[in-house]
Amino acid sequence: MGAGAAIGARALVDSATKLYTEYQWEKNNDTDRNVSVIGAERQWDLTRGLKLLLSGEYGSTDADSGDNDRYAITGGVAY
């Protein structure tokens, strides 16, 4: 059986930009894992009804089985 906890925060820079971070602690049987995430998201209203979204995230995992980093960039268009 496992247990875990998380703490995070989100800040609005302006009406179209937000920053966020989260830290997670997990324990499952004899395995410990800590995950740290930080990211940013920005949205543009290009014209009436047309929106563009861009976000990026960095995550770092510190675990008994090994450490790793990950990067993600996503984008989207909505009409």
Tokens of 16: 């179209």
Tokens of residue 11, six digits: 């800040």
pLDDT digits (tens, 9 = 90+) for 21-75: 999 998 887 788 899 999 999 999 999 999 999 999 999 998 877 789 999 999 9
Of 20, 55, 13, 18, the closest CA to residue 37 belongs to 20
Per-residue pLDDT tens over the stretch 2-14: 789 999 999 999 9
Nearest one of 8, 4, 2 to 39, comparing CA atoms: 8
Output b/e per residue, 40-77; b: 16+ Cβ within 10 A: ebeeeeeeeeeeeeebeeebebeeeeeeeeeeeeeeee
Instruction: Provide the whole-model pTM.
Output: 0.77
